[in-house]
Amino acid sequence: MKDAGGKQGRGSVGAMKKIFLYDTTLRDGTQSEEVSLSVMDKVTITEKLDEFGIHYIEGGYPGSNPKDKEFFERGKRLRLKKAKLCAFGMTRRVGKKVAEDANMKALLSAETPVITVVGKSWDFHVTEALRTTLDENLKAIRETLEYLKERTEEIFFDAEHFFDGYKRNPKYAMKALAAAADGGADCLVLCDTNGGSLPSEVAKIVREVRKTTRLPLGIHTHNDSEMAVANSLVAVENGVTQVQGTINGYGERCGNANLCSIIPGLALKMGYDVLPPGQLKKLTELSRYVAEVANLGHWLHQPFVGGAAFAHKGGMHVSAIRRHPGTYEHIQPEMVGNRRRVLISDLSGRSNILSKIHEKGIQFKSGDPAAEQILEQIKELEHKGYQFEAAEASFEILVRRAMGTHKPFFELKGFRVIDEKRSEEESPIAEATIMVEVDGTVEHTAALGNGPVNAMDNAIRKALEKFYPELSEVELLDYKVRVISAGGTGSSVRVLIHSGDKETQWGTVGVSHNIIEASWQALVDSIRYKLWKSRGVIPGEQA
pLDDT given at position 488 = 54
- The CATH number given to whatever domain includes residue 432 is 3.30.160
Tell me whether residue 278 is in a domain. no
Supply the pLDDT for residue 359: 61
The answer to whether residue 436 is domain-embedded is yes
DSSP string, 202-249: HHHHHHHHHTT--S-EEEEEB-TTS-HHHHHHHHHHTT--EEEEBGGG
- Does residue 447 form part of some domain? yes
pLDDT over 70 (residue 489) = no
Report pLDDT for 293: 86
From the number of C-beta atoms within 10 Å of its C-beta (0-12, 13-18, 19+), residue 76 rates as exposed
73 and 47 assigned to the same domain: yes
- Give yes or no: residues 355 and 438 share one domain: no
Task: State the average pLDDT over residues 67-78.
Answer: 93
Q: Rounded distance, CA 462 to CA 446, Å?
A: 8
Q: Comparing 40 with 492, which gets the higher pLDDT?
A: 40
Q: Give dist(CA 469, CA 476) in Å, integer.
A: 16
The more confidently predicted of residues 485 and 329 is 329
Q: Looking at 296-440, which runs of residues are DSSP E strands?
A: 311-312, 341-342, 411-420, 429-438
Are residues 254 and 113 both part of a single domain? yes
Q: Does some domain include residue 480?
A: yes
CATH number at residue 528: 3.30.160.340
Contact of 434 with 460, CB cutoff 8 Å: yes
Least trusted range by pLDDT, from 363-372, 430-439, 475-484: 363-372
Q: What is the pTM of this model?
A: 0.70
Residue 265: closest CA among 9, 2, 19, 535:
19
Mean of per-residue pLDDT scores for the chain: 86
Q: How many CB atoms lie within 10 A of CB 117?
A: 28
Going along 293-428, which residue ranges are E strands?
311-312, 341-342, 411-420
State which residues form the domain around 444: 410-467
Together in a domain, 113 and 183: yes
29 and 55 co-located in one domain = yes
Domain assignment of residue 86, yes or no: yes
Work out the percent of the chain whose per-residue pLDDT is above 70: 85
**pLDDT for 335-348, tens place per residue?**
999 987 766 554 45
Is 497 within 8 Å of 508 (Cβ atoms)? Answer: yes
Residues 145, 90 share a domain: yes
* 103 touches 93 (CB < 8 A): yes
Overall residue count recorded for the chain in this entry = 543
The neighbour count for residue 230, using CB atoms within 10 Å, is 19
Q: Are residues 315 and 429 in the same domain?
A: no
Separation of first and last alpha carbons in the chain: 74
SS3 285: helix
**Selected residue with higher pLDDT from 350 and 292:** 292
Number of domains forming the structure of the chain: 4
Percent of the chain with pLDDT over 90: 60
| pLDDT > 80? residue 86 | yes
Q: Which of 467, 486, 506 is the last residue of a domain?
A: 467
What single-letter amino acid sits at 248?
N
Q: How confident is the model at residue 481 (pLDDT cuts 50, 70, 90)?
A: confident
Pairing of strands 441-449, 341-342: unpaired
pLDDT tens digits along 6-54: 444 433 333 448 999 999 999 999 999 999 999 999 999 999 999 999 9
The verdict on 32 and 177 lying in the same domain is yes
Instruction: Indicate if 149 and 212 belong to the same structural domain.
Output: yes
Residue finishing a domain among 444, 467, 490 = 467
Q: What is the pLDDT of residue 538?
A: 43
| Mean pLDDT value of segment 184-213 | 97
Q: Are 426 and 412 in contact (CB under 8 A)?
A: no
Q: What pLDDT is stored for residue 522 in this prediction? A: 92
| 456 and 367 together in one domain | no
Contact 407, 423 (CB under 8 A): no
CATH of the domain at 28: 3.20.20.70
Q: Which helix (H) or strand (E) holds 46?
A: helix 39-52
- Does residue 298 lie within any of the structural domains? no
∠ at Cα 18 (238, 252), nearest 5°?
70
Query: Do 336 and 193 lie in a common domain?
Result: no
Does residue 67 lie in a domain region?
A: yes
- Domain check: are 434 and 519 in the same one? no
> DSSP string of 113-174?
SEEEEEEE--HHHIIIII-S-HHHHHHHHHHHHHHHHTTSSEEEEEEETHHHHHHH-HHHHH
In SS3 terms, 398-463 reads as: HHHHHHCCCCCCCEEEEEEEEEECCCCCCCCEEEEEEEEEECCEEEEEEEEECCHHHHHHHHHHHH
361, part of any domain? yes
Q: Give the three-state DSSP class for 111.
A: coil
Last residue of a domain, one of 243, 272, 301: 272
Note the pLDDT of residue 25: 98
| Residue-level pLDDT at 11 | 35
